[in-house]
Amino acid sequence: MNTQDKIKVMQAWLNGEEVEFMVDGNWTPLQKPSNIDTIEPLWNWLSFEYRIKPKPAPIPMTIPWDVIKPEYKWAAKTKYDYVFLFKEKPTVCQGGWEGFGSEGISRLLVVDKGTVGWKDSLQERPQGE
C-alpha cells in the first residue's frame, strides 16, 4: 500500500467511516481506542493491512411490471422514497424526477424499493412486459 492509499484510509477514519484491519486472514473492524490518552488508533502499517470497509452494492427496486399498464415505461423513486411511474423517460429536477405522465404508485402497490439512491433509481420497463 502506497502513502496515498494510507492517507485515504486514515482520512476515512477521521471522517467517521468504518475502517478494518486484517487479523488472522479476516477483516476486523478497527475500534476506537480504549486508552483515554489516545484519541486516534496506533497505526501499525508494517504489521497490519488496513482498508476502508467496502459498502455493499445498492439493490435496485423491484417493480411489478406485470400489473402496471403498458403505457408506463419508466419507474423511479424520489428522495423521499416515493415511487413514480412515467410514460416517457423523466429527467432529474430539484429533488426528484420530472416527466410526462407521472403516477405515484407507492401507496397503491407493494414495491421493493431496494437500497439504491433516488438519483440512481430510474428503471426502464423490461422488453415484453
CA 90 to chain centre: 21
Can you say whether the dihedral through the CA atoms of 56, 57, 63, 65 is positive or negative?
negative
Q: Is the pLDDT of residue 22 over 90?
A: yes
What is the pLDDT at residue 89?
92
What is the pLDDT at residue 122?
94
Mean pLDDT on 97-108 = 74
List the helix and strand counts (H, then E) for the chain: 1, 9
Can you say whether the dihedral through the CA atoms of 112, 118, 121, 124 is positive or negative?
positive
Mean pLDDT on 38-65 = 89
Are the CB atoms for 66 and 129 separated by under 8 Å? yes
What is the pLDDT at residue 100?
73
Looking at the DSSP bridge assignments, the partners of residue 79 are none
Assign 33 a pLDDT band (cuts: 50, 70, 90).
low
Assign 102 a pLDDT band (cuts: 50, 70, 90).
confident
Question: How far is the C-alpha of 9 from the C-alpha of 4, rounded, in Å?
Answer: 9
What is the pLDDT at residue 42?
84
pLDDT in tens, 108-127: 777 888 899 999 999 999 98
Better-scored residue on pLDDT, 93 or 27: 27
The full set of domain ranges for the chain reads 3-52, 65-124
